[in-house]
Amino acid sequence: MAALLAVENVTKRFGGLAALEGVSLSVAEGEIYGLIGPNGAGKTTLFNCMTGLYSATSGTVRLNGTEIQGQKPHQIVRHGFARTFQNIRLFANMTALENVMVGRHSRSHAGVLGAVLRCRRTRAEEADIREHAHGLLKYVGLSVRSHSLACHLSYGDQRRLEIARALASEPKLLALDEPVAGMNPTERQEMDDLFRKLRDGGITLLLIEHDVKLVMGLCDRVAVLDYGRKIAEGPAERVRKDPAVIAAYLGSAA
Amino acid sequence: MLKALHQRPHLTAILLAVGLAALPFLVGTGLGNSWVRVLDFILLYVLLAIGLNIVVGHAGLLDLGYIAFYALGAYLYAWLASPHFGLHLPFWAVLPMGAALAGLFGVLLGTPTLRLRGDYLAIVTLGFGEIIRIFMNNMNTPFNLTNGPQGMSLIDPVSIAGLSFGRPLHVLGVTVPPTYLYYYLFLAFTLFALFIALRLQDSRIGRAWAALREDEIAAAAMGINTRNVKLLAFAMGATFGGLAGGLFAAFQGFISPESFSLWESILVLCMIVLGGMGNIPGVILGAVLLTVIPEALRYIGDLQRSTLGHIAIDPSDLRMLLFGVALVAMMLFRPAGLIPSRQRKRELAATDSVATQEQGDLYDARA
């Protein structure tokens, strides 16, 4: 399996605090890769470094062989790397459909002139954006709510909408930051099914998650971060028994 | 009746066109020619409000120095078409140059303020507006660029294909005064701006602006180049401002820094807030009301003189008082504006969302 995402030696310091210290990992095409670790371990910081919200102090991030570390978020999306956020960041006062249509921005082109003249190409593109957005809402099971405001959706639906919006950019790699946090067991199971459906559809998933049961059942491989360092990586079963991981979560016997 | 019109868009358009075409004649005969001048100013303010609405209403960037772009358009017109430098370039050449200069300054102002939002952006733009005004006020030495506080006069009136807007036009035995001619010119430009603004609003760019307003980080993560989209909003808004400025200079024939004070920026902003930020019909209504009301208040002075024999309350003081009362009343009763945009309305009224209902259910379940 070829590595779709290769993170090498990424370090991120905020002043004197090292949030990430020489983290390396590689995500293979077609797998579901889990990133776990105690609170404050640096998982979201790593996500932000990969997707361009932060620039890493040192280290490289390659997507399909292209260096993306140092690029702006909007450029990284274009390479086929989309993400969702831990604290849902939807466009709250736009409808579900409009949210997904914005997600299509990186795959459409109409500029001011196109918008003003509304020539045939712009109209076709606009129709395509709309159709694509409807399709994605259906895919995540939100068709009936497409004209509801994002802020009026239930929590679980907001999470789904964020995924649909991210999918609109046609990602090869989708990074999900705690996608099932705060959900009940039924909703979790539905999300689990959705993730499998995405993987089977050819999208590689990278997810930060606290729900050990979900991670162990779903992920092909797991990496564990603690205090900004990677302390374990490998198939879920092996990682679970790793003494360093147990120590990080439960504290070690002195 | 409104419903009947709604079902016949063509009929509505024809009625509207006839109404707008006949308006100066109706107003001129009904209220006097000075009110046709007020009509002209209404159109200029509508143009300004449409421009500022792109920046503030759509992209959510609070700009308190908007009038600076109006000033730039006006001064460029005065430099290139007045005896000041002895240049008399034609109107159709100067006006686009003024709009382009203002657009350029929009980008110049936008670039250093890309990282600023809300209050901080407002303060920087306010400073920019004042810098332009003070520059115009002081640039009579070392060389006389703007003629300082005295302002620039004898600016060429608009002239299209030999038809000068400076003199009354005689057609078919009817005398059409210049204010009427300017009305039609301004109307054409306003409709043009309206068309552009409406089309942009409902497009990929318009959605990108809305996304930027809602959440800048998420917008960037969706592939929106936030820098370009912001600069585009600034440039578009400024271009409309510059266009209005050029028209203003030609119409007045005289400009001075006094016309471009902070008060004017605030006034245009008030029009947007009053009418309904982000909603174009609302913005137009706001511009109409805030131009007409102060003019109408002048009659209160005449009324006092005729009934009391002297002026007890200065109408201009009354104007400020009424403005204040109106704004406070707005915030209390219609915080989203007179004709709120779909989005603002939801934003301010969204209390019983599904999410909060769910929260309530949770508490009920626990109890």
Contacts of A124 in chain B (CB under 8 A): none
Let me know whether A64 and A100 are in one domain: no
| B353 to chain A: closest CA residue | A152
- Residue A195 inside a domain? The answer is no
Number of domains forming the structure of chain A:
2
Interchain CB contacts (distance < 8 Å): A and B: 125
> Per-residue pLDDT averaged across B265-275, rounded?
90
Query: What mean pLDDT, rounded, does chain B reach?
Result: 87
Q: Backbone phi, then psi, for A63, in 5-degree steps?
A: -115, 115
Task: Inform me whether the pLDDT recorded for B322 exceeds 90.
Answer: no
Half-sphere exposure of B130 (CA within 13 A, CB side): 9
**What pLDDT was estimated at residue B198?**
93
The DSSP bridge pattern shows strands A204-208 and A32-36 to be parallel
> Shortest CB distance from A115 goes to which of B199, B214, B226?
B199
**What pLDDT was estimated at residue B347?**
53
Tens-digit pLDDT profile for residues B186-241: 999 999 999 999 999 989 999 999 999 999 999 999 999 999 999 999 999 999 99
- Residue A54 inside a domain? The answer is yes
- Residue A186 inside a domain? The answer is no
Let me know whether A232 and A208 are in one domain: yes
- The rounded distance, in Å, linking the Cα atoms of A238 and B276 is 60
- Residue A196 inside a domain? The answer is no
- Residue A187 inside a domain? The answer is no
**A77 and B347: CB-CB below 8 Å?**
no
B171: exposed, middle or buried (Cβ count in 10 Å: 0-12, 13-18, 19+): exposed
**B222 and A165: CB-CB below 8 Å?**
yes
**What pLDDT was estimated at residue A125?**
93
**What pLDDT was estimated at residue B367?**
42
Task: Inform me whether the pLDDT recorded for B2 exceeds 80.
Answer: no
Let me know whether A47 and A103 are in one domain: no
Whether B361 has its CB under 8 Å from any CB of chain A: the answer is no
**ipTM (interface pTM):** 0.91
**What pLDDT was estimated at residue B334?**
83
Low-confidence ranges of chain A (pLDDT < 50): 1
Tens-digit pLDDT profile for residues B140-183: 888 889 988 999 999 999 888 778 888 888 888 788 888 999 99
Contacts of A169 in chain B (CB under 8 A): 222-223
Task: Inform me whether the pLDDT recorded for B360 exceeds 50.
Answer: no
Whether A123 has its CB under 8 Å from any CB of chain B: the answer is no
Task: Inform me whether the pLDDT recorded for B357 exceeds 60.
Answer: no
- Residue A185 inside a domain? The answer is no
Residues of chain B with CATH 1.10.3470: 32-366
Residues 229-268 of B with CB under 8 A from A: 232, 236
- For domain B32-366, the CATH class is mainly alpha
Whether B171 has its CB under 8 Å from any CB of chain A: the answer is no
Let me know whether A70 and A122 are in one domain: no
Cβ contacts of A98 within 8 Å, gap of 6 or more: A91, B207, B210
Let me know whether A72 and A144 are in one domain: no
**What pLDDT was estimated at residue A27?**
94
**A129 and B204: CB-CB below 8 Å?**
yes
Share of chain B above pLDDT 70, in %: 92
| Residue-wise DSSP of B250-272 | HHHS-B-GGGG-HHHHHHHHHHH
Let me know whether A75 and A131 are in one domain: no
Tell me the two tokens of residue B130.
């004042």
Q: Return the CATH number at A44.
A: 3.40.50.300
**Higher-pLDDT residue of B336, A138:** A138
| Residue-wise DSSP of B133-193 | HHHHHHTTSSS-SS-GGG-B--PPPPEETTEETTS-EEETTEEE-HHHHHHHHHHHHHHHH
Classify residue B355 by its DSSP letter. Answer: H
Residue range of the domain that includes A211: 1-80+173-178+204-254
pTM of the model: 0.88
- Residue A106 inside a domain? The answer is yes
Task: Inform me whether the pLDDT recorded for B91 exceeds 70.
Answer: yes
Give CA separation, B177 vs B45, B165, B166, B174, B182, in Å.
21, 9, 9, 10, 9
pLDDT confidence band for B131 (50 / 70 / 90): very high
- The rounded distance, in Å, linking the Cα atoms of B220 and A74 is 5
